[in-house]
Amino acid sequence: MSREIVCSGIRPTGNLHLGNYFGALRNFVKMQEAHDCFFFIADYHSLTTHPTPDNLYNNARQILVQYLAAGLDPDKATIYLQSDLPETVELYLFFNMNAYLGELERVTSFKDKVRQQPNNVNAGLLTYPTLMAADILIHKATKVPVGKDQEQHLEMTRTFANRFNNMYKHEVFPLPQAFNFGSDLVKIPGLDGSGKMGKSEGEMNAIFLNDDPAAIKKKIMKAKTDLGPTEMNQEKPVEIANLFTLLSVVSTPDTVAYFDDLYNRCQIRYGDLKKQLVEDMVKFTQPFRERIAELSSDESYLRRVMDQGKEKAHESARRTIEEVRHVIGYRN
Ligand code: TYM
């Protein structure tokens, strides 16, 4: 792949879980080596769920620590806070003028939120995809490392970019693509036997990068299973397939093949599978826990990283917003 402009972010709604890591953060770390990368903490997007000021601040700080603990390097990638870049908000406003109620209401994540929080269906939720488009297009990014659940938002981003270019008859924006390093977009399942790993599905559903070994053990041992296979080579029910998916991201292929074979021969003992998963999960998360603990108290380093990121992000955003204003017709 030639050198691309890459941009992505994660909402600071709590600690990062394995879904965030394998869907997004792992790609951030790889991509910073060869591309011009902008990775931000989406602290405007998190306002849709009305955090308290303390929560907003502490969660954003925690995401920064976890970005760095996972290996993001402020000298390679631009790491910044979304709210440090007001140009994004201006571009969001411009996109909102050409975003239509019907298309915004049809977005799956919006429909999910309407179901989940019927008493808080705010305009920020409705226009979530236009703010995302602004985040990405403010840097004219072409590649956006995200998990499978963000695919539709990227489609909307292309719609808004294209619409703007056509309306003003200028090729201002590229049409960015969702991206996962080396393969299809991923969806990491949760531990409750359904759906994806996610913060809003409850604490027991997700393994967080800073979970201690006892918490990991408790969650995995409680994960839902069935009574076991009764026929050779039978298809795995979803909760069992989920455990195998989790095993495949933290264990060796040999280990996965070993349990797969036992399953196919109806000789699997889920307790053994879970013990192995606990062991490999604890090993996998160990370096994160150590780095998180080290970085958490280094206030002056964290401050420096944010200041440096803000400056670099601002440079890129200012160029785009000047061009956009000119094309729209704001001329001094
Ligand atoms: P958020 O904060 O919900 O999730 C952050 C990233 O983690 C990925 N992810 C998963 N990937 C695989 N399996 C899972 N179980 C899983 N759970 C979460 C998400 O796909 C995402 O990549 N809207 C975004 C934040 C955002 C953004 C942007 C992203 C705001 N502006 C611009 C890219 C570009 C979000 O809510 O992600």
Catalytic residue among 113, 143, 217, 274: 113
For residue 12, the enclosing domain spans 5-186+299-328
Q: How many domains does the chain have?
A: 2
Structure tokens at 255: 């280990």
The overall average pLDDT reported for the chain is: 96
Catalytic residue among 143, 196, 217, 274: 196
In terms of domains, do 12 and 84 share one? yes
* Residue 132 pLDDT > 90: yes
In terms of domains, do 260 and 165 share one? no
Answer yes or no: 310 catalytic. no
Q: What are the pLDDT digits (tens) for 229-240? A: 999 999 999 999
Answer yes or no: 113 catalytic. yes
Q: What are the pLDDT digits (tens) for 86-118? A: 999 999 999 999 999 999 999 999 999 999 999
Q: Is 137 in the pocket of ligand 1 (CB under 6 A)?
A: no
CATH number for the domain that contains residue 267 = 1.10.240.10
Closest Cα partner for 63 from 43, 87, 44, 34?
Answer: 43
In terms of domains, do 125 and 11 share one? yes
Question: Do residues 276 and 251 make contact, with C-beta atoms less than 8 angstroms apart?
Answer: yes
Q: Give nearest CA residue, ligand 1 atom 6.
A: 20
The stretch 67-85 carries a mean pLDDT of: 98
pLDDT for 195: 80
Answer yes or no: 187 catalytic. no
Question: Do residues 208 and 66 make contact, with C-beta atoms less than 8 angstroms apart?
Answer: no
Residue 192 lies in a domain: no
pLDDT for 247: 97
pLDDT for 205: 93
What distances in angstroms separate CA 95 from CA 70, 76, 100, one per listed residue? 33, 30, 10
In terms of domains, do 216 and 267 share one? yes
Q: What are the pLDDT digits (tens) for 268-308? A: 999 999 999 999 999 999 999 999 999 999 999 999 999 99
pLDDT for 245: 96
**Best residue for ligand 1 mutational test, from 16, 40, 49, 146 (most atoms within 8 Å of Cβ):** 146
Q: What are the pLDDT digits (tens) for 165-188? A: 999 999 999 999 999 987 899 999
**Best residue for ligand 1 mutational test, from 38, 107, 149, 209 (most atoms within 8 Å of Cβ):** 149
DSSP-based three-state secondary structure for 82: helix
DSSP-based three-state secondary structure for 226: coil
CATH number for the domain that contains residue 321 = 3.40.50.620
